[in-house]
Structure 1
């Protein structure tokens, strides 16, 4: 990295305090804010970097802030450690009309008093700055912009913010690259960079290879017992031009009354190819009874919590629990399973189909609500298969009227395609598959009850089927 690409920056004192009242109102309204339903009681600053001076016509701050919120009922204490969020704050005298939807508010105190602050990713100039920093491998304060030296990034690509609802934020550059910026961040190796890098280095064509990435090195507090791990903040990958995500494609085919069997079979092959390469590129482990017992205990605890929160689950609790005890019984008899790195949150929306008909898998972050260490643990590949089977079910029941037979055909085709590429059919391990599908359905019930009650009937239909299958 050239000396010119390295820049030391300072941020004005009182910056976060001046933004605090505005962020308390704005942050909980964002799609990617994880603490909905609980008020924000304050913020603490993890890191702040001035990317463009606020004294200029356009200022830009990169912030990592921790949002503090009251504990959920049943927890001891007044507050729980807050989630850390990545923010890009633009600063202007006034917003032009095109940026009105990005408004955060007007600052009345502190170093930015009298200025207007807004979500900077809506603005062309800040988006261009991020790509140029990645292209030149800049280092600005605690931010490191890194890239694969074998992959070229052209300058001058026109950015546009992806406006579809996401749990993160994405910018497309000239239909050439897409930059995914993680919003809720934790220190440590993020699988959304780790796994695509491993797959790219192993020559797997099913995942867009990381071209560049953004990392933050927070300052180590005085007296800290150990160094703070870096935060992975974003990943730049090739943009699959003209691609359709699997969810949109499935709903389109359903609406037209078209079959999806061939696409499901191809997607099964693609999933198996990714699993095969991951098992070859990264360590695998053997799960015996003690390891399976921990996994079963976790599934059972999640079930009990969901039953407590959603009364509609109670009549099915015993049948659902049998899916987990059956797996534990099999492990007690000496059965073992191979665990490897997996996608961790696989569904139709995490898959892209190119105009040529090739499937790609994206978004390897895993379930963001789960701890990073858990998301990076080796697991049976069947976990991803179960997630996709549930996704076919969701698509079929989104149709009017619902088409459960469509889901069954897709589920069978997906498993057949998987078997063709992997040499083993996930349906030949029915106890493990049922346990993972049950765990996923229980998670869906809890999610829908809290966020989309009108969708609750979809996972409840699966719950009834899965609970009854333990009685046959």
Structure 2
């Protein structure tokens, strides 16, 4: 689940262009040395794998790049009883589509049966697994594609792409993307990524592990992204202008929450979405729209891959975005880290805040030019206000500290409903595509002082269809204003927050022509809704941080 300001707990993570809660850049200012526990730490570079392309599939050949002395055998999981007839895993995985029969061999029966005991122990330990604390009722194999079958001239190493539905009580099944390496032995640096040895099925006797952590398999995935085409149900797309420098050393970012990201040298960042839904992910959709419109405020996508649902024709295929490769931003600075440094010194960050406001307005203008904009009528605003009021009631029922403010806060949503009904004067309200999860951690300042916004995925905990809906741009503004409050409260510097909130709004107004401070009904409603969400989250996960949103709620309860 997405955590509000989760990365803001006093540590300075790496930054990269893309990924939940912003990108991460190493202290080396964009240069990414191989970590000491890498399988090949001495060189920091991975020799490119020779490739043979057959029917659109890039398959490495040649000997393993690691010596056998560095490999470790992982203990086997306890044996499990075979699944009963008709249970998940008792039938073959989906066969490859007729259009590509030679690309993806049909994965043998028993794949899911061999994966199930491994997934039950491994999935709940992953940070991106959304169903923590709930039992797993079962699994369903939604898709399996061998990007590199084990065996043959390339040795015993294999790479398997899996989409698996996880069923848990009280919630719809979630579909997760897994990239699994397969090898009889693992190097010591990869043991921590192991699911365990497969017992039975097509990978019997091989240890399965999280493939993005293996530089060889991460390099293979980059090579596959370079070549547009189909591999079974997977479709790889590359922008025509993309240039791929040779020998880009891959490494997995350790700061991800909802996804997995692999940084390739100082050129690219690949975000692998873990919990996926049918449809185009807004991180691809919006970043691509901005880049193609010529916006300088985005790390443009250069390649991506999707899963296509089988159907009678192309029109029936609903793509599921699985991964996006974007330009890496070397030498960038984290907006959150810059703000914290300014707060600590009681410094003047107003010029940067104003520039960030201008960048936000430019992104909104570019999105409005590239994608549809619509006026929000009275009924739409009333429904929006009702949803906000419902979230307030649910939070007040759960968080006792919110209850003293609930009645006064409800007036913010009542005013929004009146605005929709036309009984309260105000500006016309429009809805368009927006960032959807904007805060200081989603902004990078480049070496020349330019701001770039990243991670247009929206809130991963929300359904994809909801994240793709149009919304008033002031929703993004409210998110950024709340982020300035979070930064200031780390040092108890309320005046700093007020100064920089104003500077941000001034910068936004200079480009958009609309000052958020002149839309008090909208900005109060959206900021209140955001602070209510924060209060519920902090009460559940970080009670020590609850005073931050409570302070905002106290202020918003008295502002009319």
Same fold (TM over 0.5): yes
In 1, Cα distance between equivalents of 2:449 and 2:342: 14
SS at 1:292 equivalent: helix
Question: 1:410 corresponds to which residue?
Answer: 500
SS at 1:111 equivalent: coil
SS at 1:172 equivalent: strand
Pair 1:446-2:536 in alignment: yes
In 2, Cα distance between equivalents of 1:20 and 1:59: 19
TM-score under structure 1 length normalisation: 0.92
Call closer, same or farther: CA 1:142–1:457 in 2, change over 3 Å. Answer: same
Shift of 1:330: 2.0
Question: 1:184 corresponds to which residue?
Answer: 275
In 1, Cα distance between equivalents of 2:205 and 2:490: 48
How do residues 340-359 of structure 1 correspond to structure 2 at under 5 angstroms? 340-359=432-451
**95, 105, 109: which one pairs with 1:13?**
109
Shift of 1:155: 3.8
The CA RMSD over aligned residues, in Å, is 1.9
SS at 2:449 equivalent: coil
In 2, Cα distance between equivalents of 1:155 and 1:30: 32
Pair 1:62-2:192 in alignment: no
Shift of 1:306: 1.5
Question: 1:168 corresponds to which residue?
Answer: 259
**353, 357, 370: which one pairs with 1:268?**
357
- Aligned 8 A contact 1:62 1:89 in 2: yes
Pair 1:120-2:205 in alignment: no
Shift of 1:150: 2.2
- Aligned 8 A contact 1:132 1:155 in 2: no
Call closer, same or farther: CA 1:124–1:295 in 2, change over 3 Å. Answer: same
- Aligned 8 A contact 1:187 1:228 in 2: no
**363, 378, 402: which one pairs with 2:455?**
363
In 2, Cα distance between equivalents of 1:329 and 1:250: 36
How do residues 275-354 of structure 1 correspond to structure 2 at under 5 angstroms? 275-333=364-422, 336-354=428-446
Pair 1:426-2:516 in alignment: yes
**Structure 1 moving runs of 4+ over 4 Å:** none
Question: 2:28 corresponds to which residue?
Answer: none
Question: 1:74 corresponds to which residue?
Answer: none
How do residues 366-385 of structure 1 correspond to structure 2 at under 5 angstroms? 366-385=458-477
- Aligned 8 A contact 1:320 1:463 in 2: yes
- Aligned 8 A contact 2:373 2:430 in 1: yes
Structure with bigger RCO (C-alpha 8 Å, 6+ apart):
2
In 1, Cα distance between equivalents of 2:310 and 2:113: 19
Question: 1:462 corresponds to which residue?
Answer: 552
Deviations 1:386-426 (A, max 9, x none): 00000111111123xx2111111111110011011111111
Deviations 1:302-336 (A, max 9, x none): 11222222222222111111110011112212653
Pair 1:241-2:330 in alignment: yes
Pair 1:157-2:253 in alignment: no
How do residues 104-143 of structure 1 correspond to structure 2 at under 5 angstroms? 104-143=195-234
Deviations 1:335-384 (A, max 9, x none): 53111110011011111111221110011111112222221111110000
Which residues of structure 2 form unaligned runs of 5+? Answer: 1-52, 58-102
- Aligned 8 A contact 1:135 1:154 in 2: no
SS at 1:70 equivalent: coil
Question: 1:200 corresponds to which residue?
Answer: 291
Shift of 1:111: 3.1
Pair 1:41-2:137 in alignment: yes
Deviations 1:277-312 (A, max 9, x none): 111111100012111011111111211222222222
In 1, Cα distance between equivalents of 2:302 and 2:54: 22
SS at 1:367 equivalent: coil
In 2, Cα distance between equivalents of 1:461 and 1:228: 48
Pair 1:32-2:83 in alignment: no
Q: Which moved more, 1:434-443 or 1:188-197?
A: 188-197
- Aligned 8 A contact 1:48 1:62 in 2: yes
Question: 2:83 corresponds to which residue?
Answer: none
Q: Which moved more, 1:429-438 or 1:445-454?
A: 445-454
Shift of 1:468: 2.2
- Aligned 8 A contact 2:290 2:298 in 1: yes
**331, 335, 340: which one pairs with 1:251?**
340
TM-score under structure 2 length normalisation: 0.78
Shift of 1:228: 5.3
Shift of 1:267: 0.5
Deviations 1:217-257 (A, max 9, x none): 1335x9xxx94511001111110001122112222333344
Shift of 1:451: 2.1
SS at 1:67 equivalent: strand
Shift of 1:126: 1.2
Find the structure with the greater CA-based Rg.
Answer: 2
